[in-house]
Structure 1
Amino acid sequence: MLSRKLPIAALSVLAMALSACSDDGKKQQGGMQMPPPQVGVITMKEQTVPVTTTLPARAVAYQFAEIRPQVSGLITEKAFKDGALVNEGDLLYVIEKDTYQASLAAAQANLEKANAAVPGAKENYERYQRIVNTGATEIQVTDAKTRYDTALAEVTAAEAAVKSAQINLNHAEITAPFAGVLGVSNVSVGNIASPSAQSPLVELNQLDPIYVDMYESAGQVLAATGKYADFKTETDLSKVKVTVQLDDGSTYDVTGNLDVSARTVDESTGTVNLRAVFDNPDHVLLPGMFVRATLLITEENGYLIPQLAAQIEPGGKVTAQFVTKDNKVETRVFDQVQVSNNSWIVSKGISDGDRLIVDGFQRLAGGVSEVTPVPAKINDKGVVVDDTSSSGSNGDASGSSSDATKASGSNG
């Protein structure tokens, strides 16, 4: 019996020893304090910054025309290549001229006939005027004058007929009304051209310059104290500079200016149409192309908070996190902000030297109150980029563009 009890006792002593070691380990681990997490910060400094607004937009041809015939006839010539650049007055189509040339010849003959009758009618009228009451009656004078006036009227009618016939003959040659780019022809040689046809012969667009139409909230445009309040005349509008971002994310390298503002509101969308004009010599912008347009409204003094480092609260308020002098995390709320490209402009609640958290938001989860601030660098799009000169030994100072995306996600 004793030999069986000894192993059981020994096991009990071993279990107690292991338990004691485990408790000591927990106490030792609990006594260690993890260092405050690192976050990337930028130092705030007041500066003069542009006030901008970015709107959805669409490119629209500066001039657009559906080329249609003004006379009917067989198309005998198509003088351009589809999609070609043409100048004002360039020949596009020729309609069979024989009929119109014949009509012009007939009209000219009628004019000559009418002109031939005038001298005799005039001479007869003048003769009757000389012999009135001596060899001619008043009735004869009146009749002679009527015949003379009729001869003159027939000349006028014949001249109009010649002019009309010449116009029809001229319309047999269809030319470009302005310089631009042609579309694809809807007809070819041998087709019949008619003014009543449903489809145009071809379309013509002027692409240089070109319009960009934007759509802004009616409340913003029409408000007496809004950001557009100072832009009421064409001269004022031309001062508003506009840049365009293309579908591929690149920026069109030509700056345009606001050209016109509609004075009506679209009932279905509640927006007002704003139109900018751009030089477009290389035809980068094409009619129908959707872009994003950024308007430079004015400039103001303030502090820039990258939008990726802030969160929009209900009611339009913006919150951002700062690091205090004792390295505590402080959340600030700003209720008066404006837009400057990819940042918020704040004029109150920030002082020079304040440190704004722009990276490492995921390390603040769980209510972390104390941090280790490390200088970070952001690019012109407000995104954190690598900066090895200030990244520290472990590379956590500035993070990367992907870190900034995570920060944006955690901050709404």
Structure 2
Amino acid sequence: MLKRLGAWLIVLLAAGAIAGGLGFYKYNEIKVAIAAAQATPEPVETVASARARTGTWSASTRAIGSVVALRHVEIKNEIAGVIAEIGFKSGDIVDEGALLVQFDVRQEQAALTAAEADARLAKLTLERRQGLRNSAAFNEQELDKAREEYAAATARAQNLAIIVDKKRITAPFQARVGISDWQPGAYLDIGTPIVKLQGVADDAYVDFTLPQDSTAIVRTGTRVTLSGAAVPGGTATAEIVAEDNSADDANRAIRFRAVAKGFGRILRPGTFVDVTVATTEPQPTVLVPLASVRRSPNGQHVFVLVEEDGKLRARMRTVTTGAVQGDDIAVSEGVEAGELIASSGSFKLREGLLVDTGAVAESTTGTGIN
């Protein structure tokens, strides 16, 4: 019995010794880890930053605008006839007065020659009748008849000259001609479309429509922003120079026309561009860099960089945004002017993270539209 108790005692002592050794080893391991953690510096993320600042913005709306040449026309023939000559090639730039289409005028030219001869003869007859005014052979009735016959002959000749002139179609202004498949020998009935002309000029119009509810402050002289792939540099400004005198009966929209200075030879007529128009007066707001705003399922937020114990830490702040203009965005709630905001690189941040930032950038835009 004593032998059995002694064996169990030895086993218990051995187990206790092993447990104590393992505990001592684990204690030392945790102690070393704590010391290592204390010796390791806190993680730091480097981001760019900027100060939130005061600015202005306006509510806005977007519309699809169509580029229109300052002068444009579709050429049609006023008199039917057979084409004798085409004076242009598709896509050419023609000067004012350049020949576009010459119709066959041989028949009209012959009739004109005969009418001019009749007019000359009628003029001679009239002059002879006038020469007999002081002679016994003078007849007032014959003089009146000669005078009217001369007037009628002259009118017939003038009418035929006008017909001949109308069968020669020239460019009314300098323009680029469109594509045309007409060839000499083709017969064209009255009013047949021949070719479209788009005037060549330094400037261009942009036509667009806005819903009647969005036009309270939109007037002649209002500046609008053009954007799109067709616009050099991506964006440009234009000025409204005309507005329609009534709303469209179908959709109650109002048509506006803006002029884009210097884009007449760049924007092709018929091209679509985006037009952004301010629809309210400028309102004061707080502007922050657009890159600083992060989006999540819970909404939009920014990271405000707050100094705590001499160090900058990221604090997440939920915001309500509005206008976007250039690289800035308006914030109506969540940020105060003057606060330091993480901009580029803010995606790396989380709540309470230590932050290192370089020189504070300042926004360059002062107004915005949304």
Structure-1-length-normalised TM-score: 0.63
Q: Which of 264, 268, 273 matches 1:291?
A: 273
Shift of 1:202: 1.6
Residue of structure 1 equivalent to 2:317: 331
Q: 2:50 aligns with which of 16, 29, 42?
A: 42
**Structure 2 residue 154 is matched with structure 1 residue 159:** yes
Q: 1:295 to 1:312 in 2, by over 3 A?
A: farther
Is the alpha carbon distance of 1:71 and 1:352 closer, same or farther for their aligned partners in structure 2, counting shifts above 3 Å? same
Query: Which of 193, 197, 210 is equivalent to 1:204?
Result: 197
Structure with the higher fraction of residues in strand conformation: 2
Deviations 1:131-176 (A, max 9, x none): xxxxxxxxxx9xx65x655554443333222221111111232110
| 1:10-409 equivalences in 2 (<5 Å) | 17=22, 21=26, 25=30, 28=33, 35=43, 39-46=47-54, 55-116=63-124, 118=126, 149=144, 151-197=146-192, 200-208=193-201, 209-221=203-215, 223=216, 226=217, 228=218, 231=219, 234=220, 237=221, 240-241=222-223, 244-247=226-229, 250-251=232-233, 256-266=238-248, 271-280=253-262, 283-293=265-275, 303-310=286-293, 320-326=302-308, 327=313, 329=315, 331=317, 333=319, 338-345=323-330, 353-364=338-349, 368-369=351-352, 371-372=354-355, 374-375=357-358
Identity of aligned pairs, percent?
Answer: 21
Amino acid of the structure 2 residue aligned with 1:204: L
> Are 2:204 and 2:261, in contact at CA under 8 Å, matched by a contact in 1?
yes
Which SS does the other structure have where 1:106 is aligned?
A: helix
Letter in 2 for 1:359: S
Unaligned residue ranges in structure 2 (runs of 5+) = 1-6, 366-370
Residues 284, 18 of structure 1: CA spacing in aligned structure 2 closer, same or farther, 3 A cutoff?
farther
CA distance in 2, matches of 1:270, 1:52: 21
Q: Is the 8 A contact 1:321 1:329 kept in 2?
A: yes
| Equivalent position of 1:134 in the other structure | none
How far does the alpha carbon of each residue in 1:315-350 deviate from its partner, in whole angstroms, 9 at most, with x for none? xx9865433444452526457x54534433468986
Moved more, 64-73 or 152-161: 152-161
Contact 2:80 2:188 in 1 (8 A): yes
Deviation at 1:362, TM superposition (A): 3.3
Unmatched 5+ stretches in structure 1: 131-140, 382-412
Provide closer, same or farther for how the CA distance between residues 52 and 333 of structure 1 changes in structure 2, counting only shifts above 3 A: closer
SS of the equivalent of 1:201 reads: strand
Structure 1 distance, partners of 2:125, 2:100, is 42
> What SS is found at the alignment partner of 2:69?
strand
Deviation, 1:92, is 1.6
2:50–2:289 Cα contact (<8 Å) kept: no
User: Relative to 1, partners in 2 of residues 1:22 and 1:380: Cα closer, same or farther, differing over 3 Å?
Assistant: farther
CA distance change for structure 1 residues 343 and 52 in 2, over 3 Å: closer, same or farther?
A: farther
Alignment-mate amino acid for residue 317 of structure 2: T
Q: Normalised by the size of structure 2, how large is the TM-score?
A: 0.69
Question: Contact 2:112/2:161 (CA < 8 Å) preserved in 1?
Answer: yes
- What displacement does 1:279 show? 4.2
Q: Who is 1:133 aligned against?
A: none
8 Å CA contact retained: 1:58, 1:290 = yes
- Checking the alignment, whether the CA contact within 8 Å between 1:318 and 1:333 is kept in structure 2 is yes
AA matched with 1:43? R
| Distance of 1:263 and 1:120 partners within structure 2 | 62
* Structure 1 letter corresponding to 2:151: T
Q: Which amino acid aligns with 2:239?
A: N
RMSD: 4.8
- Name the count of aligned residue pairs: 339
1-side partners of 2:146 and 2:28: how far apart? 131
State whether residues 301 and 347 of structure 1, in contact with CA within 8 Å, keep that contact through their aligned partners in structure 2: no
**How far did 1:285 drift?**
1.0
Q: Which amino acid aligns with 1:79?
A: G
Amino acid at match of 1:274: F
Asked if 2 retains the 8 angstrom alpha-carbon contact of 1:52 and 1:294, the reply is no
Residue 359 of structure 1 aligns to a residue whose secondary structure is coil
Cα separation, partners in 2 of 1:95 and 1:28, compared to 1, 3 Å: same
The SS at the match of 1:62 is coil
Are residues 364 and 103 of structure 1, via their aligned partners in 2, closer, same or farther at CA, if it must alter by over 3 Å? same
1:1-22 deviations in whole A, cap 9, x for unaligned? x9xxx9xx99xx69x9499849
